[in-house]
A and B are shown apart, each in its own frame.
Chain A
Amino acid sequence: MADNIKVTIDNITIDVAPGTTILEAARQIGGEVAPPTMCYYSKLKGSGGKCRTCLVEVSKGSEKDPRPMPKLVASCRTGVMDGMEVKSMTSDKVIDARKGVTEFLLLNHPLDCPVCDQAGECHLQDLSYENGSADTRFEFERRTFEPEDIGPNIQLHMNRCIMCFRCVFTADQLTNTREHGILDRGDHARISTCISKALDNEFIGNVIDVCPVGALTDKTFRFKNRVWFTKPVDAHRDCPTCSGKARLWMRGEEVFRVTARKDEWGEVEEWICNTCRFETKDAKDWVVEGPTKVNRHSVISQGHYAGKVGTAKQPVLIDKVIGKQPKLTFDIHSESEVNKPNIHLSQIEGPAHSDDFNTPG
């Protein structure tokens, strides 16, 4: 194996294996140095490069060729070189580009979070919270589509789609039949199954989990509850099709939703099958392992589920990144009293009940 190489991101130096991308290196450092990603998905071959939220500045190409790169580069698709120096949150150019991309992604996005099942765990919400502005400068009608059922369990709200292509890669790589693709081009392009052909494949439900926004949602959970009123627990069962390792979203004893388990970057750890996801909603069918630890820096983690937001390395980072602090590490409850539980949900044994949410602390 070749020797590790050194890369410095936001003044923090780390050793990584050759062939690592800038993004993966940044994720190894952890915390907020890692650029936001809306299209890259480490488990999907060929993903990334499209949304441009992960742009970073390469201020030094490598030890051998120290010239800076002329343009910002997509960190998810750019490999590191020995001695490379990268600026992510310490570069004003990057912050500006990220603001731009956030604005572009929101242009045609209907701001229908109040009726969107993804709200609370939506990556676009997180991105906007972090990099967006309070007003829109877009004063035109947004493009609109009718919601469409694709298969018995999944609904497509094309209006909300940000064209990350993740679901297309998922359908392509997890299932044997390619029924899912893109029609048209430019801002009129859309995800399609070509004449709404049902996506009835045992693993197709995973497109819901990879979708960063509320464009693909679970019809069996539709409008049943807000994600922040349910408490996630990790559970498993004996499943003949998949690993059976899932996450149950419960309120009281009731299982409202089953999803795959996701890591700190919001990526699925192991794909689950449709039977686990859509048809196994009785708590008795599952062996509950315990409350989920949410350590993603996201709106979802604002004091509701996890003890600590962000990673352990964070205090070091704040001083290295020259006073630049991401908004998502602020405690939202210092600004808002909405749904403030009087106790961290992770400290409650077992599922949380309505009362836990209704008594502000």
Chain B
Amino acid sequence: MKLLLENAHIEGIRYYEAYRKHGGYRSVEKALKMTPDEIVEEVKKSGLRGRGGAGFPTGMKWSFLAKPEGVPRHLVCNADESEPGTFKDRYLMEFLPHLLIEGLIVSSFALGSNATYIYIRGEYAWIPDILEQAIAEAKNNGWLGKNIQNSGFDCEIYVQRGGGAYICGEETALIESLEGKRGNPRIKPPFPAIAGLWMRPTVVNNVETLAAVVPIINMGGEEYGKLGVGRSTGTKLMSACGNLNKPGVYEIPFDLTVEEFIFSDEYCGGIPNGKRLKACIPGGSSVPILPTNLLLKDSKGEARQMNYESLSEGGFATGTMLGSGGFIVLDEDQCVVRHTMSLARFYNHESCGQCSPCREGTGWMYKILKNIEYGKGRKEDIDLLWDIQRRIEGNTICPLGDAAAWPVAAAIRHFRDEFEWHIDHAEEAQTRNFGLAHYADPLPVVTA
């Protein structure tokens, strides 16, 4: 069942007329007849969890928002989407801009935000125009501006482009950047719910999270909460890339198995050229990479499903995370060392440089990985890498430090022999890949 992308392929859905004709803005009509607290209650009931990566329950986040007398509050939509492998928000904004605007209006009303901001990644150069067009259309039709639909509620939405820094996706760095400052994450507390944008109470939510508010209001929180499995409710957008026959953005039900997602024709359609699956990062570059055997089955031997709980089953020892839904697939020809090096380079480049473990550690890891990849590695380097990532993780200001540490940790945890082979066969490793070894099918079931 599709809740977000249902109408994505309708001709002209990007524009107001077609969007409205197919049921658009109904949720605003419904919401304006409710009280803000009732909307928050519906979102709570829906069990919706943040789609930006951390999976924090949205209703709970909303209820933490401080409401001091006479102080404006703000909703900020996080459209910075810079996590390698993640491109679902772009798809949503590009093809269904009105869905986001609709979600933003309902959410702004629920949170009492008269000025709402969309902070969009600088590289998405063509999308602000699409959003601004949609905002103008919504305004012309009385959904934005002063006293919308005669409800007495004023709402404006502004689009702000970022400068192209991954770190500006971290909510407090985003707020700093939005204020016109250098995008350094703030030291918390205070949290944005108390003192965010211009030190006013602020909620920062992901694009997909805010779009999901539309079906929640339309169908009711309780109905929405019935979809999915356990604490993973509703549906999820996945952006699939890498060695797949049909990479792209898919809306999935949470009870879909990983195997079906990769191999079925309805979704990614399997691995091209008859190659075999080696490994996968299911939730964007920051989450741990898993070899096939651990990816398809969890530590109890059950088929892994595409939801928060199932993917993280077994902790980091055998599991990973759903993260932001950036699903990266590696076939048997891919080299995990090279892949890890390339991620390490990314985090090194994107660290804001405020705190010493992340600033210095990311560069160090990258340099060591580069040595290993180019045949200059030493046996001790593997343990050294482990030691560095261990001393970054948990010791930094913002989660970018963890995000830099986890991919390295997981690669060593699950692919240590590939690293060792690279070091021991330095010359050979320049000409061929390690291949599959024991990672792929037939699956040796791992019991933790």
Contacts and interface: CB of A to CB of B under 8 A. Distances in A.
Given A50-B354, A185-B165, A186-B353, A97 B359 contact: no
Given A186-B349, A186-B351, A186-B363, A77 B187 contact: yes
A52 interface: yes
B348 to A, nearest CB: 6
Interface in B366-395: 367, 384, 391, 394-395
Given A72-B395, A97-B391, A186-B363, A52 B355 contact: yes
B362 interface: yes
Given A100-B357, A185-B352, A107 B364 contact: yes
A172 to B, nearest CB: 12
B353 A101 contact: no
B394 A72 contact: yes
A96 B387 CA distance: 11
B85 interface: no
B348 A187 contact: yes
B30 interface: no
A181 B187 CA distance: 18
Contacts of A108: 360
A84 to B, nearest CB: 15
A71 B391 CA distance: 12
B348 A96 contact: no
B356 A163 contact: yes
Given A140-B367, A163-B354, A104 B394 contact: no
B288 interface: no
A107 B354 contact: no
Contacts of A103: 391
A345 interface: no
Interface residues of A, number: 35
B187 to A, nearest CB: 4
Contacts of B391: 96-97, 100-101, 103-104
Contact of B360 (A49, A104, A181): A104
A163 B358 CA distance: 12
B359 A189 contact: yes
A267 to B, nearest CB: 19
B182 interface: yes
Contacts of B411: none
A182 interface: yes
A188 B363 CA distance: 10
Interface in A92-136: 96-97, 100-101, 103-105, 107-108
Contacts, number: 90
Interface string B168-183: 0000000000000010
Given A51-B356, A163-B354, A185-B352, A100 B363 contact: no
Contacts of A140: 364, 367
A96 B393 CA distance: 13
Given A187-B348, A187-B362, A97 B395 contact: yes
Contacts of B348: 186-187
B397 A71 contact: no
B396 interface: yes
Contacts of B384: 137
A233 interface: no
B167 interface: yes
A162 interface: yes
Contacts of B367: 140
A36 interface: no
A52 B353 contact: no
Contacts of A189: 352-353, 359
B254 to A, nearest CB: 27
Interface string A41-71: 0000000111111010000000000000011
A123 B348 CA distance: 26
A138 interface: yes
B251 interface: no
B353 A187 contact: yes
B80 to A, nearest CB: 15
A52 B357 contact: yes
B351 A185 contact: yes
Contacts of B260: none
Contacts of A104: 356-357, 359-361, 364, 391
Contact of A101 (B182, B362, B395): B395
B360 A105 contact: yes
Contacts of B364: 104, 107, 138, 140
Interface string B200-236: 0000000000000000000000000000000000000
Given A101-B356, A185-B351, A71 B395 contact: yes
B350 interface: yes
Interface string A186-220: 11110000000000000000000000000000000
Nearest to B349: A186
Contacts of B356: 50-53, 101, 104-105, 162-163
B357 A185 contact: no
Residue from B348, B360, B362 having most chain A Cβ neighbours under 10 A = B360
Nearest to A70: B394
A4 to B, nearest CB: 22
Given A100-B395, A105-B356, A49 B187 contact: yes
Contacts of A184: 353
Contacts of B397: 49-50, 74
Contact of A182 (B165, B182, B351, B396): B182
A186 B357 contact: no
Given A52-B396, A72-B395, A185 B353 contact: yes
B395 A187 contact: no
Nearest to B351: A186
Contacts of B351: 185-187
Nearest to B384: A137
A101 B363 contact: no
A108 B361 CA distance: 11
A55 B165 CA distance: 28
A163 B351 CA distance: 13
Interface in A132-188: 137-138, 140, 162-163, 165, 181-182, 184-188
Interface of A: 48-53, 55, 70-72, 74, 77, 96-97, 100-101, 103-105, 107-108, 137-138, 140, 162-163, 165, 181-182, 184-189
Given A70-B394, A71-B395, A165-B354, 9 more contacts: A50-B397, A52-B396, A103-B391, A105-B356, A137-B384, A182-B353, A186-B359, A186-B363, A187-B360
14 contacts: A49-B355, A71-B395, A72-B395, A104-B357, A104-B391, A138-B364, A163-B353, A181-B182, A185-B350, A186-B348, A186-B362, A187-B348, A187-B353, A187-B360
Interface of B: 165, 167, 182, 187, 348-357, 359-364, 367, 384, 391, 394-397
List 3 A-B pairs, minimum CB-CB distance, nearest first: A100-B391, A49-B187, A189-B353
